[in-house]
Homo-oligomer: A and B are copies of this chain.
Amino acid sequence: MAYRPTEKTEARKKAQHKLLSDTALAIVSNDGFKALTIASLAQEAGVAIGTIYKYFEDKAALCTHVFKIASGKEVEMVRRSAFPEPSSDSEKLNCTERLEQTIQSFAERAIAGHKLAYALIAEPVSPDIEAERLIYRKAYADIFEHLIEQGIDTGEFRRQDTKVAATAIVGALAETLVSPLAHIVEQNINAPDEELFSSIKKFCLNAVCKTD
């Protein structure tokens, strides 16, 4: 008698949502949030403008969705460096080594995906997205905070305000790695700057450690 959503249509719906989501992420990864317009997304995804609104409430919902997807992945990668799976090789690293590894991981990902990193961390965005960004930066800080707490317990790190230290590390990483990427035309992605990474690691370790 009437129409009913079925498995097939639901699958298509999900696929369309993913198409739009993926396309939007690609746009942001290449050209930042400023390039993510309803029209450009419709164009890239090969759908009409109105279709976007069948899948996202409005522009803000689209942007925050993309931001969450992208930043969620990034945070997860960094979290794995800080707290490796019990089964992994890195399992037995001490906190100092894991902090180094975590910074290295953040740095490598920031340089390799510098356009996305810039979009997520430093690109001027609307207040809606800025709110998401604070959550995201907090997620990073929480990882560092937890790691620093562990290091204090093991006696590797000095007693300190772990929230401040963790926040400061996030700021130091953002400033040294991401902000300068604001207008780099083409990065020499082939030669990751190990020298730079090393300096940053030394700075941060020195800041939290008992001794050099």
**B-chain residues with CB within 8 Å of residue A183 when the two chains form the complex:** 131, 134
Find out whether the CB atom of B137 lies under 8 angstroms from the CB atom of A179.
Answer: yes
Near B by CB (< 8 A), chain A positions 177-212 give 179, 182-183, 195-196, 199-200, 202-204, 206-210, 212
The quantity of this chain's copies bound in the complex is: 2
The verdict on A165 contacting chain B, using a C-beta distance below 8 Å, is yes
The verdict on A24 contacting chain B, using a C-beta distance below 8 Å, is no
Instruction: Return A198 CB to nearest CB of chain B, in Å.
Output: 8
Find out whether the CB atom of A175 lies under 8 angstroms from the CB atom of B170.
Answer: yes
* 5 nearest CB pairs, A to B: A171-B175, A168-B172, A207-B207, A161-B199, A171-B171
Complex Cα distance A34/B182, Å? 21
The residue that A203 contacts in the complex, of B168, B176, B200, B212, with Cβ under 8 A, is B168
The verdict on A126 contacting chain B, using a C-beta distance below 8 Å, is yes
29 A–B pairs (Cβ distance < 8 Å), ordered by A: A124-B125, A130-B182, A134-B179, A137-B175, A158-B206, A160-B199, A160-B202, A161-B195, A161-B196, A161-B199, A164-B176, A164-B199, A164-B203, A167-B172, A167-B175, A168-B171, A170-B175, A171-B171, A171-B174, A171-B175, A171-B176, A171-B179, A172-B175, A203-B207, A204-B207, A206-B207, A206-B208, A207-B207, A210-B212
